Chain A
Amino acid sequence: MEAIIKLENVNFYYDKGKPTEVHALKDVNLEIKAGEYISFFGPSGCGKSTLLYIIAGVERPDSGKVIVNGQDLMKFSSRELAIYRQIGIGIIFQNFNLIPSIKNFDNVTLPMAFLGISPKKREQRASEIMARLGVAELMDRYPFELSGGQQQRVSIARSLANNPPVILADEPIGNLDSVNANNVLDILKEFNQRDGKSIIMVTHEAWSLKDVNKIFYMRDGAITKIEEKGEKMAVKKVGAGYYHKNLFPELPVIEARAKVMASLILRGYSQEEIKRLEYFLSHYLRNQIDKETFRMVLDRPYKEGGVGLWKQRAKKIADYMENIIKEEKELEVLYKKLERDPETPLYEEVEKIQRWLLGDFTMKITPLQARRLNEIVMERIRNIILPEHFQKILNLPKDEGGVGLKIRTSLKITEKLETLLGREGGIEAITKTANA
């Protein structure tokens, strides 16, 4: 079959000609066929998102050709590019990027409005697609009233509004908990298999590659390997470790192991935090530090050179690693185990903790307050802020960036959170109750 998207010798620089120049894409050549579900897979900063936005006609490469459906995007006027974005592609973002000031329904109809479709047709189409994605009842709400998973489904509906043949997904599950992440992956798979949409997904999370047909491994702005998943591979059901080995073939086993485990354990944390865990983990795996030191550096605040986990979680991870080393399991087995039973991602935990924290109080909080509370709970858990900071922000008025709670309430909530963080198995208990 003809390639629907074809890149020839594409080079892209950031800040070209300045001291900060970065050669983000180096002689990239690739072909994507109609109906394929492919992924650009690689670590942060490897240029995979840049590549996606070049295909989206958002970035213009410094050299090379971008051929879409036989036409060179480089020769398009800005209006033609806009029309291409209207009907040629649909984009899904990591942080959803719904327009906050209009209702979800209007967000979904917006691409159709840009195309100039009549309001009647728009309504019909938006209702259809939103119903299919299970967000029909959220039509009349605003994006900030939705959970991350719901927002992402609305944004998928938006990307499909004009029924484009290609869907571009930039880290679509990066901001989602595991349940919602799986849900989004299922939706992408369905639109690929049932509707024949070509899907290009950018990801750094190996486990999200499960439904992909073809993987472009990327490092430092270049495609290092292209792998087509045949029937065999699909049957074998390879784990995340397999992809990481493909991505970093030169790394010693221990480093690769540390890398993949760090990113699985700290899902939802920042890249810097993950890198730091990876560093300590590789030392621990090599037996260069003992378990107690490992636990201590996990617990130590980020500013002081640690990973910044709170005490209880540090201990849990240290115990976990100790087991792994003792059992000396095969790498593959480990990955699979982690994948099947991943550490609860931070987002889910924070949501649950927030609900638990507010459980005793009758007051209502606004979406803004909820978001702020989430942020500081997350920062407290990651040991970025101290209990007294936490309490202070709770009490600070809303327009000064605080949550705007009364002083008594904020003292109580702080106390409640601290007993939880200090108690053995506290969070698990809450998580279990919340799940039940």
Chain B
Amino acid sequence: MPDLEKYQQPQFFVSEEKGHNLRIGDLFRLSLRVFKVRPMRTFLTILGVSVGVGTVLFLVSLGYGLQYILIGKLAATEDSLISLETYYPAESDLNISYHDIDNIIAFPETEEVSPVGEFSGEAKSDSLSGFLLVKIIKPNFFRLSGIKPDLGSTFTENEKGTVISNTALRLMNIKEDQTSLGKDVSVKIFYPNQDGLDTKTVSIESRLVIKGIVADEFSPPFVYIPSDAVAEKPPFFQRIFAKAKDINTVEPLRDKLIEKGFLISARIDLVNQAKKIMVVITTVLGIFGITALIVSAIGMFNTMIIGFLERIFEVGIMKSIGATSRDIRNLFLMESLIMGLLGGIGGILVGIASGELFNLGVNYLAANLGGKPVNLFIYPMRFILLIITMSGVVGVLSGFWPARRAAKLSAKQAFTK
């Protein structure tokens, strides 16, 4: 007979442990079984998700990259974004007078101005000379207009010099490259007389050193010279860059200038336009990427369903030895979450690797064709984080239905098979 003295009355449903559910660590450890049981299938599923996520990253970061290049070109300086290029309509035959400039400066919205006088002129190198457009500017012109030399630098108040277009160099038979920086040119300007029929020639007192070169194949040859270098002030100006005090005063300033009869061309409009276009392009690229991601998510869903069907028996055993429905559901969800996250991380590697490879190819071509190296891809950190989160969500979603079905299984399944 059993020794009943040793037997203690059973303490059902009373346990010192409170949980009655698997701990996170155990869930994680148990979920990793798939890598051991079905390594190939798990790997392929993760690879599928990686390719999907990678495609999204590749396309969207291409979109970001293009946007950055385009807008970067447009918005070269911060000041140029709140500066308004102001000029009279061509048909009005009006030019900007000193009086106009004083008026514009007087606006409370105006922070600073940079007038531009454009006149015909002649530039001369060692022997050759050519006719071109001379743009008389103040050094702050570069900052307000956002124009930058493609080679070299701009001139400043203290360091006089000139910035010249490559086509102007060509006129003077000077090489259009780095070696030409530091060479000097002499410039003559032809100011029109008041009647507009005759011109008055003004020579620049000293020769100007070439500080920067602007690549521009489409405009006629031109040269920027500092207004300080010109002995006689220009009689009038064609355009003036007026910088607003801040972003909020841009529109009031624009209104006032329009009221005065000026036409306005603002960089910020271009930038906004470009941004809109880039958003469309990035969205279209993103949709292609998302399609790839959906395909891989379906693949993962399929894997999870097969995994579920294979494990009906195992789920039965687990339930019969005390697993709650929640444990089973969490096991499946954890598994798909892990696979999704790994897919996300793999996808980031795939996306960045293919992006860099593509970029390398493009730059190799560009170098051969004489273009400038560019970076077509940009991977913003927040987008990478978003992608990892998203792949986790895709994982959980694709595991949701199998997990629910598994959780609903009865422990009986272990014995009816």
Q: Which residues of B contact A359 (CB under 8 A)?
A: none
> Which B residues form the contact surface with A (CB < 8 A)?
1-4, 6-13, 15, 17-23, 25-26, 30, 33, 36-37, 314, 317-327, 410-412, 414-415
Contact residues in A for B7 (Cβ distance below 8 Å): 34-35, 195-196
Quick one: given A69-B12, A99-B317, A116-B20, are A162 and B412 in contact (CB under 8 Å)?
A: no
Q: Compute how far the CA of A56 lies from the CA of B412 in the bound complex, rounded to whole angstroms.
A: 10
> Chain B contacts of A170 at CB under 8 A?
415
Chain A residue nearest in CB terms to B414: A97
A86 x B8 contact (CB < 8 A): no
Residues from chain B with Cβ under 8 Å of A68 in the complex: 12
- A190-225 vs B, CB cutoff 8 Å, 1 = contact: the mask equals 001111100000000000000001000000000000
Which residues of the other chain, A, contact B11 by a CB distance below 8 angstroms? 87, 165
Take A58-B411, A196-B2, A196-B4 as given contacts and tell me if A87 and B12 are in contact as well, using a CB distance cutoff of 8 Å: yes
Contacts of B3 in A (CB 8 A): 193-194, 196
A58 CA / B416 CA spacing, docked (Å): 12
Structural contact, B13 and A53, CB atoms closer than 8 A: no
Cα separation A4 to B12 with both chains bound (whole Å): 10
A173-194: which residues lie under 8 A (CB-CB) from chain B?
192-194
Q: Which residues of B contact A353 (CB under 8 A)?
A: none
Identity of the chain A residue whose Cβ is nearest the Cβ of B317 in the assembled complex:
A97
Tell me, in angstroms, the Cα distance from A164 to B9 when the chains sit together. Answer: 11
Given A58-B412, A114-B22, A196-B8: A83 and B318 interface contact (C-beta under 8 Å): no
Whether the pair B13, A84 counts as a contact (CB closer than 8 A) is yes
Contact status A82-B6, CB under 8 Å: no
Assess the B325–A78 pair: CB atoms within 8 A.
Answer: yes
Decide yes or no whether A1 CB sits under 8 A from chain B. Answer: yes
Asked if A287 CB lies within 8 Å of chain B CBs, one says no
Q: Which residues of chain B are near A116, meaning CB under 8 Å? A: 17-23
Q: Which residues of B contact A82 (CB under 8 A)?
A: 20, 319, 322-325, 327
Chain B residues, CB < 8 A from A87: 11-13, 15, 322
Interface centre among A101, A114, A192 (most CB of B within 10 A): A114
Separation of A82 and B13 alpha carbons in the complex (Å): 10
Please name 25 pairs of A and B residues whose Cβ atoms are closer than 8 Å in the assembled complex, sorted by A.
A49-B415, A53-B412, A53-B415, A58-B415, A68-B12, A69-B12, A80-B13, A83-B322, A85-B321, A85-B322, A86-B15, A86-B20, A91-B321, A101-B37, A102-B30, A102-B33, A111-B321, A114-B324, A116-B17, A116-B22, A116-B23, A119-B25, A159-B321, A196-B3, A213-B1
Q: Of the candidates A58, A93, A97, A113, which one forms a contact with B410 in the assembled complex, judged by CB atoms under 8 Å apart?
A: A58
Structural contact, A4 and B17, CB atoms closer than 8 A: no
A349 an interface residue at 8 Å Cβ cutoff? no
Residues in chain A near residue B17, CB distance under 8 A: 115-117
Q: Is the CB of B2 within 8 A of A193?
A: yes
In the complex, the answer to whether B33 meets A35 with C-beta atoms within 8 Å is no
Contact status B321-A35, CB under 8 Å: no
